[in-house]
Amino acid sequence: GGMSEESDCVVVVDDEEIIKVHVHTENPGDALQAGLEYGQLLTVKIENMKEQHRKAAEENQAQKAAAEPQPEKERLEPQEPTEEMGFISVAAGDGLKELFLDLGCANVVSGGQTMNPSTEDWLEAVLATPAKKVFILPNNKNILMAAEQTVPLVTDREVVVIPTRTIPQGLSAMLAFDPSLDRKQNMMNMVKAYEKVGTGSVTFAARDSDYEGHNIKKGELLALENGKLSFVDTDLKKTVVKLTHNLVRKSPNRDCNFVTLIHGEDVSAEEAEQIRAAVAERLGDDAEVVLIEGKQPV
């Protein structure tokens, strides 16, 4: 409970023996202290993200100053495959891209509900990942096929698609990665981690339409459970609370105690916090509910 109060981003994955926690906090000591209440810490990695971001921003400025006017789309430079394993993830929204980079992805390809990356985007990202084995997390069922078509096109490194179908599945898979294990063990762990994840999404109808037999009016909210339409509503808070409750109720092991709400660019921080509080209240004390500002378009 103490974790999410003092940090602005908490992500957790567990298997039988070990729990991995990824936290952004101003006070790492307090976070470690909170963790120690529950047992030993096996490994700890602390990075100063502000410093990293400041450096990256400075380098960016320097590059911009030195560079010619840029064409619209920034090209990724090919990298020699020096490392054993590297990751590419697909996401839309600066917050989500940032999070996947934090979790160790070399590159994040833009894509999501409506925009599917082209084969060219894939190739560019694969070649810009300095690894002998490049794992792709498509995080969307519509993007899976295109990702798999990239596999035979790359000759100087091996490409493996981990078939994540949603962003939360992709996040869980990344958290389960352990650089000290071999490829096969990592594949198994990552798949096991994401298969435990239930994903709900809320979007709104851009026009009147007939969706899976439901008659939907423009502007109504669609609540999807693992990609299938669950119900339609007009109130965002009610929709998210009900959708989360449904997912928790149906989660295979029924001990769903970690809920991550990823809010898009149209939801203000205040509104997101109100919704988080409402979800937490509905789920009761067993569930830890955290917010991530994904800034995704949908």
* pLDDT tens for each residue of 2-50: 555 555 666 676 766 777 787 777 777 788 788 878 888 777 777 776 6
Contact between 103 and 171 under an 8 Å Cβ cutoff? The reply is: yes
Q: What pLDDT is recorded for position 71?
A: 42
**Distance of alpha carbon 73 from alpha carbon 32, whole angstroms:** 41
Helix (H, G, I), strand (E, B) or coil at 127: helix
Residue ranges for the chain with pLDDT beneath 50:
1, 68-71
- Burial-class residue 176 by CB neighbours within 10 Å (0-12, 13-18, 19+): buried
**Distance of alpha carbon 219 from alpha carbon 105, whole angstroms:** 35
Q: What pLDDT is recorded for position 189?
A: 93
From residue 194, how far is each of 22, 149, 156, 169, 298 by CA, in Å? Answer: 16, 22, 29, 5, 22
**Distance of alpha carbon 25 from alpha carbon 8, whole angstroms:** 7
Q: What pLDDT is recorded for position 192?
A: 93
Q: What pLDDT is recorded for position 21?
A: 80
Q: What pLDDT is recorded for position 56?
A: 65
Helices (H), 21-161: 28-36, 49-66, 94-102, 119-127, 141-150
Q: What pLDDT is recorded for position 5?
A: 55
Q: What pLDDT is recorded for position 206?
A: 79
Q: What pLDDT is recorded for position 70?
A: 41
Rg (CA), the chain: 20
DSSP label at residue 117: P
What is the helix (H) or strand (E) element at residue 189, kind and residue range? helix 183-195
* CA-based nearest residue to 183, from 167, 160, 157: 160
Q: What pLDDT is recorded for position 69?
A: 47
